[in-house]
């Protein structure tokens, strides 16, 4: 019985390629090479612990500093008003730098409104508040555990979690 070299190679090459693919595969790769978006979680500001908030806020702050894709969700309610936010980092490239997309949904009674803004800055206050600056018409959005609803005008100190709208007096 004579084995033909060409026939052996024809059979061995596909098997070797399959084994190589299985050995070196590291999960699905994105065709565009873009980084995957990190989820920093979603927290209810009325009931979350400060440890949970710190983890979520640190995750999002670090992503913003490095301008890497990340999301953060937050919810709170005050009397008959419920507010939820979705924040995402946005890489504006060399011309615009890193920004944050804010989508805020407010429910009062049966009415629901949804607005979106672009925030320019992000900082942490000494009390743990995560502050988004320059959102919408120059307002700040401040997220803090145990807070109620309100907004802060440009340069003013926020005392609560902020939603779009008129500053609370």
Tell me the per-residue pLDDT of 37-81, one tens digit each, with 9 for 90 and over. Answer: 889 999 999 999 989 999 999 999 999 999 999 999 999 998 889
For residue 2, tell me if it sits in a domain: no
* Number of domains within the chain: 1
Whether 76 and 148 have beta carbons less than 8 Å apart is answered as: yes
Domain span holding position 108 = 38-122
Q: Looking at the domain assignment, is residue 141 inside a domain? A: no
Tell me if the pTM is above 0.85.
no
Q: What does the alpha-carbon distance between residue 121 and residue 108 come to, in Å, rounded to a whole number? A: 29
Beta bridge pairs of residue 142: 131
Domain-embedded: residue 26: no
Is residue 102 within 8 Å of 117, Cβ to Cβ? Answer: yes
Residue 147: inside a domain: no
pLDDT tens profile 95-150? 778 999 999 999 998 899 999 999 999 999 998 899 999 998 778 999 998 765 44
Q: Would 32 be classed as within a structural domain?
A: no
């Amino acid at each position: 019985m004579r084995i033909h070299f060409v026939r052996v190679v024809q059979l061995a090459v596909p098997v070797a390629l399959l084994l190589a693919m299985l050995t070196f595969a590291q999960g699905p790769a994105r065709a565009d090479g873009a980084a995957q978006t990190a989820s920093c979680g979603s927290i209810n500001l009325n009931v979350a612990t400060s440890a949970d908030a710190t983890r979520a806020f640190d995750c999002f702050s670090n992503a913003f500093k490095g301008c890497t894709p990340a999301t953060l969700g937050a919810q709170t309610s005050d009397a008959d008003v419920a507010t939820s936010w979705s924040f995402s980092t946005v890489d504006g490239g060399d011309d615009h730098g890193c920004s944050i997309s804010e989508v805020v949904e407010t429910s009062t009674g049966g009415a629901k409104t949804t607005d979106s803004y672009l925030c320019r800055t992000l900082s942490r206050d000494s009390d743990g508040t995560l502050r988004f600056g320059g959102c919408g018409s120059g307002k700040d959005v401040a997220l803090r555990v145990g807070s109620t609803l309100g907004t802060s005008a440009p340069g003013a100190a926020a005392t609560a979690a902020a939603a779009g709208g008129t500053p609370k007096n």
